[in-house]
Amino acid sequence: MTAGNLKPAQSSTVLAVLISGLGFLSATALFGGAMLLADPSGANLEIPNAYLRDSPFDDYRVPGAILFGVLGIGPLLAVYGIWRRPQWRWANALNPSKKMHWAWSASVTVGAALIVWIAIQVAVIGYASLLQPLYGILGLLILILSLHRSTRRALAERGEDESPERK
């Protein structure tokens, strides 16, 4: 992270934990999603086909694509955005909060998406693994850290004539 992106030590600690959580989620979701896309039966991850019984899916292809794309690539983009703060036109166009860098919105969205993903999973297949509450807690942690005052301050958009020191 560049010095201009950081505030006091608390901000760097909160951002470091947020980036770590997003990075962990990205790595595990990319792996899990790729494994489900490679073998939509779920056998390579030892996921029973019986979990799909009350779902709209015949195999794990669509859940794997969602896992890979939304919960794998999404947090990876958020990490890069928090770290480098690029001004990407497409990301800015999707950003609902013009006062915040798009990476903040991406981070909030990823946290909420993970919570929804786990809630739907538990509603459809029931409590099946210790990973469900752990990832639910991770989603909540990402959401809380994204909404933390120091994160909001660090990722607030600055006017062109404002220096980081005045914020």
Structural domain boundaries of the chain?
A: 3-155
Read off the pTM.
0.86
Residue 63 tokens read as: 């859940």
For 152-167, b/e burial (b = at least 16 CB within 10 A) is: bebbebeeeeeeeeee
Residues 72-100, mean pLDDT to the nearest whole number: 94
Q: What percent of the chain has pLDDT over 90?
A: 85
Chain segment 48-73, per-residue pLDDT in tens: 999 999 899 999 999 999 999 999 99
Predicted confidence at residue 12, as pLDDT, reads 87
Residue 165: pLDDT over 60: no
- pLDDT tens-place string over residues 144-155: 999 999 999 999
Mean pLDDT, residues 20-45: 97
Query: How many angstroms separate the CA atoms of 114 and 76, rounded?
Result: 14
Q: Per-residue pLDDT for 166 more than 50?
A: no
* CA distance linking residue 27 with residue 82, whole number of Å: 17
SS3 call for 156: strand
